[in-house]
Amino acid sequence: MNHRRISLLPLVCVFLSCASVTRTIDKGTGAVGEVLLPVSEEARLGKQLADEVNKQEKIHPDAQVQAYVAKVGRRIVDASRDRRKGITYRFIVIDQPRVINAFALPGGHIYVYSGLILAARSEAELASVLGHEVGHVTSRHAARSLGTAFGLETLSRLAMGDDPGTVAQLATAIAAQGYMSRHSRDAEREADSRGLDYLIAAGYDPNAMPSFFDTLARQSGSAHALEKFFASHPQPGERAKALRQSIRDRKAPKGRTEIVGGFAEIQARLGKKGTSSPSPSSGSQAPKTSPRPAPRPAG
């Protein structure tokens, strides 16, 4: 296991870290990434990565949980009006109740950790996270990040499917880190903005998005379960403030906190017991008026 981690270190360093989230993606290289990775190849690479990630992560076995998240995600996708040929959105729940995070692979493969569902207060908050991740896909941020991280020669091999070893290593790095790449602040703002658009168009309460970021902000600095999220995203407090201003500017309607229905049952199936921290044990939905303690440290 240690040898494997050492061999992956250069790849992880180049693609996932060794640069602050404040770093702006090189627009020239990123644009070339989009050209060299047309939608058809993006979908092909995304499937390869998803197949590898599915082997390495523990996919939640509860079909009802998976179906519920897929329904919420589909409502967001339909609101996004993303009809690019070859892009088929798939929403997958990873069974890690101590991890609060989500990430998107090229081609519409979106992963949500069960800990994030447990941390959310409503279906609308979950939908806001899915909207953000769909925003990354519709903005083609993965293609830009790949172009920036790997350069033209390697990206060409990836796009043509001629470098399966690198694909496998990249998938291992994604599974280990809990996210695909550190997008620039501009990319995160764009995904927030698009996600908010989709949330509103889908009929959800737009305030659910800044509300979820508020929850994360209150827990920052004290919950190890959030380490991966804060490593891959800008601070949530500033994002919540910007989103509230955007909601005011748009004069967005209030919307609904639940549309698909059954969020409390899904949290119960994931193991939420009263007001306790995310846990693999079974239990019932906590009252909405109860205070939410920070998740227990990751194991």
User: Which of 17, 128, 101 is closest to 298 using CA atoms?
Assistant: 101
What is the number of other CB atoms lying within 10 angstroms of the CB of residue 84? Answer: 15
Q: Give me the helices (H) in 208-258, please.
A: 208-219, 227-232, 236-250
pLDDT, position 287: 31
pLDDT, position 140: 87
Compute CA distances 120 → 18, 112, 210, 215, whole Å: 30, 12, 12, 8
User: Which of 69, 67, 129, 68 is closest to 104 using CA atoms?
Assistant: 129
List the pLDDT tens digit at each of the 299 positions of the chain.
333 332 333 333 333 332 222 233 344 444 554 555 678 778 888 888 898 889 889 999 999 999 999 999 999 999 999 988 889 999 999 999 988 889 998 899 999 999 999 999 999 999 999 999 999 999 988 777 776 666 666 766 766 666 677 777 777 776 666 555 556 677 888 999 999 999 999 999 999 999 998 888 776 554 444 444 444 455 667 888 999 999 999 999 999 999 999 999 999 999 976 433 333 322 333 333 333 333 332 22
Does this model's pTM top 0.85? My answer is no
pLDDT, position 270: 97
pLDDT in tens, 232-271: 455 667 888 999 999 999 999 999 999 999 999 999 999 9
State in Å, rounded, how far the first CA of the chain is from the last one. Answer: 18
The amino acid that residue 173 corresponds to is A
H or E element, residue 177: helix 164-177
pLDDT, position 30: 47
What is the number of other CB atoms lying within 10 angstroms of the CB of residue 246? Answer: 18
Q: Which residues pair with 90 in a beta bridge?
A: 109
pLDDT in tens, 102-127: 999 889 999 999 999 999 999 999 99
Q: Which residues pair with 111 in a beta bridge?
A: 92, 103
CB 145 within 8 A of CB 188: no
Strands (E), the chain: 90-94, 102-105, 109-113
Q: Which residues pair with 254 in a beta bridge?
A: none
The ranges assigned to domains in the chain are: 24-270
User: Which of 136, 134, 124, 262 is closest to 203 using CA atoms?
Assistant: 124
CB 172 within 8 A of CB 5: no
pLDDT, position 248: 95
Q: How far apart are CA 239 and CA 236, in angstroms?
A: 5
pLDDT, position 125: 98
pLDDT, position 13: 33
Do strands 102-105 and 90-94 pair parallel, antiparallel, or not at all (unpaired)? Answer: unpaired
User: Which of 138, 235, 186, 239 is closest to 27 using CA atoms?
Assistant: 186
pLDDT, position 156: 62
Give the angle 37-183-213 at the CA atoms, nearest 5°: 135
Residues 6+ apart with CB under 8 A from 248: none
